[in-house]
Structure 1
Amino acid sequence: MPRKKSSDEHSQIALFQAPEVPNAFRKPVQVIHSKPKSSLSLLHRKLANAWLKNASDTPSDDGWWTIHTATMAADIGFDSNNRAYLIDSARALMGIIFEWDVIAPEGKRKLWKASVLFPEVEIRPDTIRYQISRPLREQVLTPEMYAMIDLNVLKRFRRASSLALYEHCLRFEKIHRTTEVEWQLLRDMLMGESADAKSYQEYKVFKDKVLKVAIAEINALSDIEIELIEKKLGRRVQTLAFNVRKEREQAPEQIDHDENVLDIGEMVKIGILQSEARQLVKKYSHQQIVSAVAYTKKRLTDKKSSKIENPAAYLRKALSNGWAIVESSAPKPGNPTANPDKKPDLLEMYQVKMIREAEEYFSELNSADQTELISEYNATDVSPTLKVKRSKPGKAVRTEFFKWLAKHTWGDPKPEDLLQYAQKLIDTTSNVIKN
């Protein structure tokens, strides 16, 4: 059984403050479920992922992608001064042949079966240029089926077989169990069709020397926990599968109650992220959530009123303001009395406040939801210089991201929001003067 992680290991990521933030990309299943014809080192696997992520993040007009050596080293956690080893490993990737999508049924595979992943590589003093295999290029850039691979998680692995098994299992984390694979095929997927792999002709040896070590490393260092399932034919193990569970799937005590589980489901349907919904059931009572959800649903179906572009943001506001159908005194948005005498900088002050709240909101989400939001932000038409790419972005990137997140989460400020904020400023100032 996989061990339980300590509370420290469950700590959430704080964007731009923690040493690492999600650095993820969509890796197509055809590549994940591939079988290299020769052995791949840990560095080979990390380099390949860094190149694939760079390609998915960076448009190319001529089929060539460029990555700076320093960026590549940071992405894979290569902190050695042995640059020659790094370059030699990059050069070796050009000659490794893969058989693709090997666990898919034969009838569902593409016509092509094997090729190199990076057919052309140019190594320069500070950069590396490379091409991606033409049959795979479309799958890499716009994958239909994929797993979200976080380079920061891959940095932690110490063995190539552990990294390969992690990617294989992560592909199935949403359904909690991998497909069954013949153990010899899994061995070759992890180790390549090499002399090293063929030396493990007996399952018992492969299990003791490779599988057990990889499972222990994944459960100790990654964001998932896996458990081996063996299926036998007679007395011999024939196929293997794995139970897969996300690290943070343990539900807090507050959502063990049926009513809280239902509340989370209702909020998720409207568009609230699941990890945020878990926080909201701790912050608001069951009745408050039921009332706000009902109020939001009624407003969404009201054809006489203007269309709500962001239902999740509307629900958040309904919760914070206590809007409810049963309360006749509940404030109705959309009919506020504008304040013509508000200070010219009130909007800017309010935006600064919301950026701070967006930072706090983001820090409360789990890493999967954080990754999803970062990917969504990077997919907007924001300037390439303002995209979140590094673990510690600059001030301009932080400001732009959290400004976007505030708008994405709560929508544009309405007049009643500014009035309410102005009143709080007045009350605060009055209290200071009195004291």
Structure 2
Amino acid sequence: MASKSVTLAEQSPQPPKRLKGKKGAKTEARTTQIGLFTVEEPEPFKKATPAVHISAKNKALTLVQHKIYNALLANAIEQDRDHAGTNVGLSQFSIALTDLVDKVGLNSNNRDYLKGVINSLIGTVVNWDFLEAERGEVWAATGLLSTAEMDRSTLTYEFSAKIRDFLVHPQMYATIDMRIVRAFKRAAALVLWENSVRYEGIGQSAVIAIEKLRQLFLGQEGAKTIYPEYKEFKRNVLTPAVREANEVSDHTIEVLEVRQGRAVVGVRFTVARKQEAPRLESVDSDLLMSVTQLGIPSSEARKTLGRHSESDVRNALDYVRAREAKKGATPITNVPAYFRKALAEKWMAPEKSSGTKKAAAAPGLSITGITEEEIREKYRASQLGDARAYFDELSAADQAELIVRYNAWQPMQKWRLESGKKQSAAAQQSFLSWLAHETWGEPSTEDLFKFVIKGLASTATA
């Protein structure tokens, strides 16, 4: 039996050939670089977890529906970010049709075809956060879009007010790269990839019951009649989806079957970056999760577990937890930076330190001819090279996530990092300064004191 099925193949009509125009050249793959970086250009956005784990009430979403909805979400998040500071949240978003076609990678800008897909998004009811709804979370169902309007060049659209905030300002999310989304040929493969990438930080998903899995891929009504036997579903849907996701994405995904006796009752997905050598089995997954939960990027966390002993990592974690739990203490403003310093300097929680006293803080700096703030600026400037080296060591996904966070933080459009353009020297320096502060935090007086002493020693030996 052929592996493709009418349910998972494109249910929308095949789009007509793209009309030639001045933007026709944009159909080529986006392989340009962000000027500062030597990785293939990412196009990441934060997709809210409830929007990743969706199940259509009737039939499964088509590939084009998935791609266009992702493009509309990414566009809405960007427009809302640019609107920040006005104290009025956006309820309506707009995108040029040519930009929508380019973001999705369609070979057509036929308005009637696009209207048909947008109509289907308004009429498609989905259950949000489908995998979590039975674990005590609120059940919610709406159409993917609430309204849409299209003129000759622009699509204007809205999300339901009930879901708009968590879509545009996600607290929990998966970082989805539109560069990869465009490469998918099967809707099931894209669904598999998104639902796996959601767990990239810890390397594996929770166990998903087979019936829940079928509804996730086939839609709730579709799952009642399509491939009712798991072996059929596996052969025609799951196996081809895993194969394609591993071919076109930056990840390696595996399906682990959970059995009761001889029957398969559930599956678990494992996910890892292709360029990362350590496999899930080679690290302590609970320890890895503990480190990433502090806000450490997953690729850095894996390298940390490879470069430091398990006891040093656990001591640093215990120190951070003890410090956070200490009553009356000033809150830690940058937990990841605090953890990195605790690990580098081998700090231990009081109950583990065997009475060893921590060195007293360095005295306030007082050097003739230069102020403490000037020393602080020189210290920050000295960190730019280290920040660049740190960034280059991260995985493409973690790099993309940092770019998203930086652009959301940076209020000046001219200093944000833009895809497909050579970055200005000012934008590069702004990013690296932000990255250094995010990674290592504000230097202490002791850090500045050591920096001055090191500088004086270098001068003396020159």
Give the alignment's TM-score, normalised by structure 2: 0.66
Does structure 1 residue 166 correspond to structure 2 residue 193? yes
Q: Please, which of 100, 114, 128 is the counterpart of residue 90 of structure 1? A: 114
SS at 1:120 equivalent: strand
Does structure 1 residue 365 correspond to structure 2 residue 397? no
Matches within 5 A, 1:18-417: 18-21=39-42, 23-29=44-50, 32-35=53-56, 41-59=62-80, 61=89, 63-69=91-97, 71-73=99-101, 75-76=103-104, 78=105, 82-85=107-110, 87-96=111-120, 97-101=123-127, 115=143, 117=145, 119-125=147-153, 127-142=154-169, 147-170=174-197, 175-181=205-211, 185-186=215-216, 188-189=218-219, 207-222=234-249, 223-227=251-255, 229=257, 241-248=266-273, 252=278, 272-273=296-297, 275-284=299-308, 308-320=332-344, 331-342=359-370, 346-367=375-396, 369-370=398-399, 372-380=401-409, 382-383=411-412, 386-388=415-417, 390=419, 394-395=423-424, 396-417=426-447
Alpha-carbon contact 1:35-1:193 (below 8 Å) kept: no
Shift of 1:209: 4.3
* Distance (Å, rounded) in 2 between the aligned partners of 1:135 and 1:305: 39
Shift of 1:213: 1.9
Alpha-carbon contact 1:120-1:131 (below 8 Å) kept: yes
Aligned residue type for 1:340: T
* Distance (Å, rounded) in 2 between the aligned partners of 1:317 and 1:157: 41
SS at 1:149 equivalent: strand
Distance verdict in 2 for CA 1:15–1:24, change over 3 Å: farther
* Structure 2 portions without partners, runs of 5+: 1-33, 84-88
Shift of 1:330: 6.7
1:418 is matched with which residue? 448
Aligned residue type for 1:244: F
SS at 2:333 equivalent: coil
Alpha-carbon contact 1:25-1:149 (below 8 Å) kept: yes
* Distance (Å, rounded) in 2 between the aligned partners of 1:201 and 1:329: 65
Distance verdict in 2 for CA 1:58–1:425, change over 3 Å: same
Alpha-carbon contact 2:49-2:172 (below 8 Å) kept: yes
Alpha-carbon contact 2:59-2:219 (below 8 Å) kept: no
Give the alignment's TM-score, normalised by structure 1: 0.70
* Distance (Å, rounded) in 2 between the aligned partners of 1:88 and 1:309: 52
Q: Output one character per residue of 1:229-266: Cα deviation in whole Å (capped at 9) or x when no partner.
A: 498999xx9x97432112149884999588xx898677
Distance verdict in 2 for CA 1:88–1:23, change over 3 Å: farther
Determine what percentage of the aligned residue pairs are the same residue.
27
* Distance (Å, rounded) in 1 between the aligned partners of 2:327 and 2:212: 56
Alpha-carbon contact 2:384-2:432 (below 8 Å) kept: yes
Alpha-carbon contact 2:218-2:226 (below 8 Å) kept: no
* Distance (Å, rounded) in 2 between the aligned partners of 1:90 and 1:154: 18
SS at 1:100 equivalent: strand
Which stretch of structure 1 is more off in the superposition, 274-283 or 296-305?
296-305
* Distance (Å, rounded) in 2 between the aligned partners of 1:337 and 1:412: 16
* Distance (Å, rounded) in 2 between the aligned partners of 1:269 and 1:211: 30
Shift of 1:56: 2.6
* Distance (Å, rounded) in 2 between the aligned partners of 1:48 and 1:418: 49
Q: Output one character per residue of 1:357-395: Cα deviation in whole Å (capped at 9) or x when no partner.
A: 222223333455445544544454734554556366723
Shift of 1:200: 7.0
Q: Output one character per residue of 1:322-366: Cα deviation in whole Å (capped at 9) or x when no partner.
A: 667679797533534432334896544432321222222233334
* Distance (Å, rounded) in 1 between the aligned partners of 2:144 and 2:287: 49
Aligned residue type for 1:245: T
Distance verdict in 2 for CA 1:336–1:62, change over 3 Å: closer
* Distance (Å, rounded) in 1 between the aligned partners of 2:434 and 2:116: 41
Shift of 1:19: 1.2
Distance verdict in 2 for CA 1:21–1:284, change over 3 Å: same
Q: How many residues align?
A: 405
* Structure 1 portions without partners, runs of 5+: 1-12
1:7 is matched with which residue? none
* Distance (Å, rounded) in 2 between the aligned partners of 1:333 and 1:346: 17
